[in-house]
Amino acid sequence: MTMTAVFAPVGRATLHVLATLGGAATVFGRVMRSLFPPRFDKSETWRQLFHVGVRSWPIVAMTALFVGAIMVIQTAYFVRRTGATSFLGYGVGYSVFAEIGPVLIGLMFSGRVGANNTAELGTMVVTEQVDALRALAIDPVRYLIVPRFIAMMVMLTLLMVLGDLFAIVGAAATAQGLLGFDWRVLIANLVESHLLDELLMGVVKATSFGIAISCISCYFGLGASGGAVGVGRATNHSVVANATAIFLLDFLVGWLFTL
Amino acid sequence: MTANDLPASQVKRPLLARFGAPVIAGYRAARDLGRLFVDTFVAIARGRASRKQVFEQAFEIGNRSVPFVVITLGVLGFITVYQVAHQVAQILPDFSMLGAAFIQMMCREFAPTITGLMVATRVGSGIAAEIGSMVVTEQVDALKMCNADPVEYLLAPRTLASGVMLVMLTVVGVVSATIAGMLIAKAGFGIPYQTFLRFDLVGVSDVATGVTKAFAYGLAIPVIAGQAGLQATGGSAGVGAATTRAVVNTSFAVIVLDFVLSGLAYVVFDK
Amino acid sequence: MSVRIAVQHLTKTHEGRVVLSDVSLEVRSGEILGLVGPGGHGKSVLLKHLPRLLVPDRGHILLDGRDLATLSGFDLARAREGFGYLFQNYALFDFMTVADNVAFPLRQERSAASADRGGEQRGVASREQQIDLRVRERLAEVGLERAYHQFPRELSGGMKKRVGLARATVTNPSIALYDDPTAGLDPVTSSRIFALILAMHRKVPGCASVVVSHDIDRMAAIVDRWIVLEHGTIAFSGLRADLLRALASAPPDGLLRRFFGDPAALPSHVTSGATA
């Protein structure tokens, strides 16, 4: 009796995870099929690019600002302990470009765009708009999904770069304002640290996050059922799956770069 | 089609209105949020949160989030130790402080904040979806008609449960990350467990900072998510929008609180 | 027969559109007031203003002579205790059983709790027992005593409406508001619901009921006073006798005729105990 009690939830959870993975992979496959050769709605893609970009850049910029600030404060502890003031620029740069930046910006993007995407698609499904599209012989993948996929992948990559810039600004401001550390020295240290590799890794992470977030959020959105409650539930599951995916991809890309 | 579908350049509004409107809207939103916080805390202080509900919510928020927290913080521990050890191995092959520094950073910064973000994601969207659905199906109106204040009935138990549970989840997070880090340190770099598992850098200030952050995040998330839910309008689209708003606002709140509390901790403990 | 609620020059806009425009009416004790009109013209919005679930942009709503806008949060909650509200989509709490749903307003009654403080010794248990008795009684009256332990999601639409009705009337309110009580229900269930509305109305002496519905035929059997709302304004207001007179002289393609049809075909009225 207790055996089932222990294994049933684990089994259920595993099946749930596998279902999500499979579902997202299926979406990815269908997107790929519509990309090579390119057969998707171009104007809808531009519209999505605009929407996603406009909607998410303020929150990403603000998040990056604070992330830079927080990392300066945390790195300052070590700098004080070891006295290696030149480490401040390097430490902040490394953590922001390579690790904390991509993850936090990815999470905010997942919330702002991913959740929104699931909610939009979910609403369309429960109000039978997707069925209506099919009845008009319009392929939902080409019209709905591929544009969103492209938009999210491209935008998150660009926003990562923007985020890096804002993070440096936030870091410099905090270094000067809170720590009394000359911001020019900080920037100089940063530049001297040759963090191009880390920057690249951060951008690659961002692109992979964008791909994952779009596939997962589309999967959950299209699977929504049960009216308003169903849409809310789908959005909830979507952001949780996105967050997990972000962490796993973060690990994967990080490991790949060390090879 | 609304004005939002036109490119910004085509929507002609006087410049002052364009800048002024969002500022005023932001001020109003902040004021409403402040009022909601006060109402919620007053309700808790007056003991109006039903004990049964608090325990139910504690289970929902705490126990149900454990797997999620264990996985995400475990992976985070893995990544961080792997990356840092890799760097250290190339610069100065002295791993003696690695574990100690890692655990300290976890306690003070990453465990509370990442756990907070994970809970904001999972619980924040959950609360907004729940309350949002209740709003659009008129259940919140029904509560008012039955002489139940939605803030007392819905928000107060969740806020109290969340504050306490987030602290506990953070502890779970620290443990998960440390164990994961310890494993990869041994497996990838041959660092013995005892070398890694050192607590000498972890001081009272670190623990206090971590606990305060976790508690603050815990109190903020349900109120902010609840506000998003209570403002839901218009069927499934409204619930979806509310859920999205909740995730964004709670996550951002965690980050801002992190900044404020980190700065405060620095000023208090290290200046 | 006193005026319980006086609506004065109520105006409400929503997203730039005028939903209600200068609406004035009275809800009187002992009467069943019928609110009809084309769909989407403001009936539900008007109903929600009465217990101040919505706030007017202009105009006043007086409850027993007091302007609702002047009531503090606490006083408003006390005032709402005298209301019973059946929502359009029944608004049952889907995380509670049927029994808990119906018991909820009783458990929340603060004024009753303070009055019961005397029996606090055996207080809690006996109050719970009393509540349980009332709940079972009310569920039996709507024919759902067997649904006691079930959850709303296990019930059909008609059953949920009946539970909603039970919850709305369990406190024996002196003002009962029904928002489209038979929407989407089969004819047999609809007749049953209206019979229940009449029964609940008769139970509380001097009760004032307001029914919003499209079901003209069933309404005609119980409604004492009619209000026709078109485009957010009152197109007709009067007693049954006034309505019959107006219909007799109304143009055949006018609103009244389109809505009520031939005056001779209007179902006969069952007196609800109201003085004309």
pLDDT of residue A1: 59
Alpha helices by DSSP H, listed for A95-222, are: 101-109, 116-126, 129-135, 140, 146-177, 183-192, 196-222
Closest by Cβ to B145, choosing from C51, C89, C92: C51
**B2 falls within a domain:** no
Beta bridge pairs of residue C6: C26, C62
pLDDT band at residue C272 under the 50/70/90 scheme: very low
Q: Do A119 and B243 touch (CB under 8 A)?
A: yes
Q: Do A99 and B126 touch (CB under 8 A)?
A: no
DSSP C86: E
User: Which of A14, A55, A60, A77 is the best mutation test for B, with the most CBs of B within 10 A?
Assistant: A77
pTM: 0.82
Taking the Cβ of residue C104 and every Cβ of chain B, the question of whether any pair is shorter than 8 Å is answered with: yes
Nearest CA in chain B to A224: B236
Taking the Cβ of residue A227 and every Cβ of chain B, the question of whether any pair is shorter than 8 Å is answered with: yes
Listed by start position, the domains of chain C span 3-82+173-265
Q: Residue B46 is part of which domain span?
A: 34-264
The backbone torsions φ and ψ at residue A179, rounded to the nearest 5 degrees and listed phi first, read -95, -10
pLDDT at B271 over 70: no
Higher pLDDT, C266 or B1: C266
Which chain B residues are Cβ-neighbours of C94 within 8 angstroms?
Answer: 139
pLDDT at C274 over 50: no
Which chain A residues are Cβ-neighbours of B117 within 8 angstroms?
Answer: 104, 107, 243
pLDDT at C114 over 50: no
pLDDT of residue B97: 80
pLDDT band at residue B116 under the 50/70/90 scheme: very high
User: Which of B39, B59, B133, B146 is the best mutation test for C, with the most CBs of C within 10 A?
Assistant: B146
pLDDT of residue B12: 57
Tally of domains within chain B: 1
Neighbour subunits, A (≥3 Cβ pairs < 8 A): B
List per-block mean pLDDT (blocks of 10 residues) for chain A, which spans 259 residues: 73 84 90 84 88 91 93 84 78 88 93 92 87 79 89 94 93 87 83 83 94 94 87 92 92 85
Task: Convert the pLDDT of each residue in C3-58 to its tens digit.
Answer: 999 999 999 998 788 889 999 999 999 999 999 988 777 898 999 999 888 899 99
Q: Do B121 and A119 touch (CB under 8 A)?
A: no
**B26 falls within a domain:** no
Which chain B residues are Cβ-neighbours of A127 within 8 angstroms?
Answer: 236
Which chain A residues are Cβ-neighbours of B236 within 8 angstroms?
Answer: 122-123, 126-127, 227-228, 230-231
> B239 to chain A, minimum CA–CA distance in Å?
6
CATH code for C3-82+173-265? 3.40.50.300
Cα distances from C204 to residues B186, C91, C116, C145, in angstroms, run 78, 24, 22, 22
Task: Convert the pLDDT of each residue in C124-169 to its tens digit.
Answer: 668 888 889 999 999 998 889 899 999 988 898 889 889 999 999 9
The region of weakest confidence among A133-137, A216-220, B83-87, C81-85 is: A133-137
CA distance B202 to B196: 13
pLDDT averaged over chain C? 84
Nearest CA in chain C to B150: C77
pLDDT of residue C117: 42
Assembly ipTM: 0.87
**B105 falls within a domain:** yes
Q: How many CB atoms lie within 10 A of CB C130?
A: 13
Neighbour subunits, B (≥3 Cβ pairs < 8 A): A, C
Neighbour subunits, C (≥3 Cβ pairs < 8 A): B
Q: Do B130 and A63 touch (CB under 8 A)?
A: no
pLDDT of residue C261: 76
pLDDT of residue C116: 44
C-beta of residue A214 within 8 angstroms of C-beta of residue A153: yes
Nearest CA in chain B to C176: B145
pLDDT of residue A167: 93
Taking the Cβ of residue A239 and every Cβ of chain B, the question of whether any pair is shorter than 8 Å is answered with: yes
pLDDT of residue C246: 84
pLDDT of residue C29: 92
Helix (H) or strand (E) run with residue B75 in it: helix B66-91
Which chain B residues are Cβ-neighbours of C108 within 8 angstroms?
Answer: 146-148
Q: Do B138 and C80 touch (CB under 8 A)?
A: no
Q: Which of residues 135-194 of A touch B (CB under 8 A)?
A: 174, 178-179
Closest by Cβ to A251, choosing from B67, B75, B266: B75
Higher pLDDT, B227 or B1: B227
Task: Convert the pLDDT of each residue in B122-148 to its tens digit.
Answer: 999 999 999 999 998 889 999 998 888
pLDDT at C111 over 60: no
pLDDT at B3 over 80: no
**B90 falls within a domain:** yes
Task: Convert the pLDDT of each residue in C220-235 to its tens digit.
Answer: 899 999 999 988 888 8
Cα distances from A258 to residues A133, A248, B265, in angstroms, run 46, 16, 35
From start to end of chain C, where are the E strands? 3-14, 17-28, 32-36, 58-63, 66-67, 83-86, 175-179, 208-212, 225-230, 233-239
pLDDT cut 90: percent of chain C above it? 34
Q: Which of residues 47-66 of A touch B (CB under 8 A)?
A: 50, 54, 59, 62-63, 66
Q: Do B137 and C109 touch (CB under 8 A)?
A: no
C-beta of residue A241 within 8 angstroms of C-beta of residue A27: no
Q: Do B247 and A99 touch (CB under 8 A)?
A: no
pLDDT at C118 over 80: no
pLDDT of residue B7: 53
CA distance C103 to C177: 19
Residue matched to tokens 């919140």: B140
